[in-house]
Structures are given as C-alpha cells and as structure tokens.
Amino acid sequence: MSLSPTPLPPLTLVLGGARSGKSRHAESLIEATPGPWTYIATAEAFDAEMQARIATHRDRRSSAWHTVDAPLDLAPAIRAAPPGRAVLVDCLTLWLTNVLLADRDATAASVALVAACREAPGPLVLVGNEVGLGIVPDNALARRFRDAAGRLHQDLAAVADRVVFMVAGLPLQVK
C-alpha cells in the first residue's frame, strides 16, 4: 500500500472503525506524493491513554511530516497549509468531539470545514471514525455526536473525489 494506484486527487475521505488501519492507509497515500507533508492533528491529550495513542502515531511518522495541532480551528489550519503539498487531517471524529464539548455550533463548524476542504491549497486526505453501526447509545450526547458525525461524513463524501471504507487494514473503495 505504499504506492497509490493513481495520483492523489484533491480530496480523499478515509472512513473505518477503531483499529481498522485508517491512519496508516491515509499516511501511505500521502507518502506516495512529493514531501514535505502537513499532518493536522485534532487530538487533545486529556489523559494517559490518549497521550500513548498520540505518541504511537507520531513515532510512526517520518521527519518529512510537519505537525500542526488544530483541536478546534480545523478549517483555518487547512487553509493555512503550504500550497501544493499534501495534507492529512487525523481525525474528523476527535475534532467533532472537541467542537461539541466546547459547546460550539456543530452544524456551522461542519459547513465551514466542508468549504475549507473544497478550497484546500493541496491534496487533502481526511480520516474519520465510523461510529454509527452499533446499537443505539443510551445517552443523548452520544446520539447527538453520532448524528453529527454521520452528517459530516455524508457532506464530505458528497464533495470528495475518493472515499474508502477500511476493513482490517484493507481499503474498500466506495467512491
């Protein structure tokens, strides 16, 4: 998977479940293009478990990656990336969680994000967690999050050039 079969299109959406190999696949798509590359990280290290996850991901990446933290202001971070260079956003799900926890308007934030993705200065690969295929969650916040995530993925998939659904590390092309 280190070589993309075709040149990276303007907008790619990589969806999948937990530990389905989304980040690794997204990185491999970008690393087939000329570097350096921008990694926009949306994770906030609230606890030790999250710190360990972030460190694992960071250790895997080569020094050709330049990391930008954007837990909330994702749209401006995308617009500010170096022109003509590939950008990875990892991941939409944590960004949306941060937006909801900060009591920001998720719909307005999603609209602004979709606009920034369409006007990105270089090829953009977005990683998102598919969270809507289990039993309906008990608590209302989880349901609100699930709805917002599903709508965001639909809006991005509609304008994306390529959409893949990861199964056990293997990309299934949906668009």
Q: Which stretch binds a copy of itself (CB under 8 A): 72-80, 82-90, 112-120, 140-148?
A: 140-148
Q: Which stretch binds a copy of itself (CB under 8 A): 34-42, 82-90, 108-116, 132-140?
A: 132-140
User: Which one from 25, 57, 66, 153 is the annotated catalytic residue?
Assistant: 57
Residue 91 preceded by cis peptide, ω within 30: yes
Taking CA atoms, 122 is separated from 78, 108, 125, in Å, by 9, 23, 10
Interface with a copy of itself, residue 175, by CB under 8 A: yes
Interface with a copy of itself, residue 19, by CB under 8 A: yes
Interface with a copy of itself, residue 150, by CB under 8 A: yes
What tokens does 156 get?
Answer: 């991005």
Q: Which is nearer to a copy of itself, 41 or 81 (CB)?
A: 41
Question: In the set 45, 55, 64, 174, which binds a copy of itself (CB under 8 A)?
Answer: 174
Interface with a copy of itself, residue 130, by CB under 8 A: yes
Known catalytic residue: 25?
no
Distance between terminal CA atoms of the chain?
18
Size of the site for a copy of itself (CB under 8 A): 40
- Quick one: how many helices (H) and strands (E) in the chain? 6, 7
Question: In the set 18, 46, 83, 103, which binds a copy of itself (CB under 8 A)?
Answer: 18
Spatial separation of the C-alpha atoms in residues 24 and 140, rounded to whole Å: 32
Which residues touch 52 (CB under 8 Å, ≥6 apart)?
Answer: none
Strand partners, 37: 65
Taking CA atoms, 164 is separated from 25, 66, 102, 123, 148, in Å, by 10, 25, 30, 16, 20
Active site residues: 57
Applying CB under 8 A, which residues contact a copy of itself? 13, 15-21, 49, 130-137, 140, 142-143, 145-147, 149-151, 153-154, 156-158, 163, 165, 167-170, 172, 174-175
